[in-house]
Structure formats: C-alpha cells, structure tokens
C-alpha cells in the first residue's frame, strides 16, 4: 500500500505563467482563494485542473514546496490543447496566465446518492455497501 494518498482541500487556486509541458510554477493565490502551500506539504499528492480559458488539463499531481517557487508536477488523465493528442498528454501551454486549482475529478469520485431518489438508502454503521454505478455507493441494511 502506498504511503501517500491524494489530499483534497477546498478553495485552493493559484496563477501560473508557465509555458510548455514543464512543471507548473505557482505564482500565488487568486483573489478569494488560498495557495497550495497553506494546505499541502512538500510531495503531497493532489488532483488538479488547469485552464487558460481556452485549453484545459485535469489530472493527478505532486505539489513541490520550493522557496519562492512552488511547483506542481503534472500527470494528466484528461486534456485538450496544444500537444495533447491523447487525453493523457500534457498540454503544451502557450504564453499567458493559467489558473491552477485543486479539483475532485468525476472519474475518481465516489459518493452516495441518498436523497436523490427512493432507490438510494442512507448509509448506516452496519450493513452492506455496494456499487450502484461507476461512482455511486448504495447501502442495504440486510
């Protein structure tokens, strides 16, 4: 079992002017958001999304805490932009400002659907949890 797991945090978004396919150099929090360094330690694993308003990349990454130049190592699993001929290719970012933020990508999410319809039950401390779909866990007390 790996000693690291992906860490989720809310309202983490920084700007970057990184170009190409290198690690994203983080330049500070967007207004109303926190920087990665406020919630993440060196080498923590994160789910991320990056956009420049035209292109995007979503993936898992590793936060690197560096004096004055924090970075995000990128491992995309969905991308659209220059250089990204496959979903798993890194976007080769053009000149301009990008938003880099923590995300919880749909293919990696797991949740209960209790309250959405009578077919989904509220989880309890005992019983049986089972998959109702690729992302939804349901519950049966029997």
pLDDT per residue as tens digits for the range 47-106 = 999 999 999 999 999 999 988 789 999 999 999 999 999 999 999 999 999 999 999 988
- Read off the pLDDT band of 135 (50, 70, 90): confident
Least confident of 1-5, 38-42, 81-85: 1-5
How does the average pLDDT of the chain come out, rounded?
92
In terms of Cβ atoms closer than 10 Å to its own Cβ (0-12, 13-18, 19+), residue 139 is middle
The first and second tokens of residue 80, run together, are 């659209």
How many Cβ atoms are within 10 Å of 91's Cβ, its own excluded?
22
Question: How far apart are the C-alpha atoms of 95 and 104, rounded to whole Å?
Answer: 27
pTM: predicted TM-score of the whole model, two decimal places: 0.83
What tokens does 117 get? 């319809």
User: What count of residues does the chain have?
Assistant: 142
């Amino acid at each position: 079992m790996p000693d690291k797991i992906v860490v989720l945090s809310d309202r983490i978004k920084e700007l970057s002017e990184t170009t190409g396919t290198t690690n994203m150099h983080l330049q500070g929090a967007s207004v109303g958001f926190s920087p990665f360094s406020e919630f993440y330690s060196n080498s923590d694993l994160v789910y991320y999304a990056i956009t420049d308003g035209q292109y995007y990349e979503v993936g898992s990454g590793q936060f690197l805490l560096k004096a004055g130049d924090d970075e995000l190592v990128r491992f995309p699993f969905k991308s659209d932009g220059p250089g990204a001929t496959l979903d798993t290719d890194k976007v080769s970012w053009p000149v301009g400002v990008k938003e880099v933020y923590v995300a919880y990508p749909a293919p990696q999410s797991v949740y209960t659907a209790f309250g959405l319809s009578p077919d989904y039950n509220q989880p309890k401390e005992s019983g049986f949890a089972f998959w109702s779909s690729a992302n939804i866990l349901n519950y049966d007390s029997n």
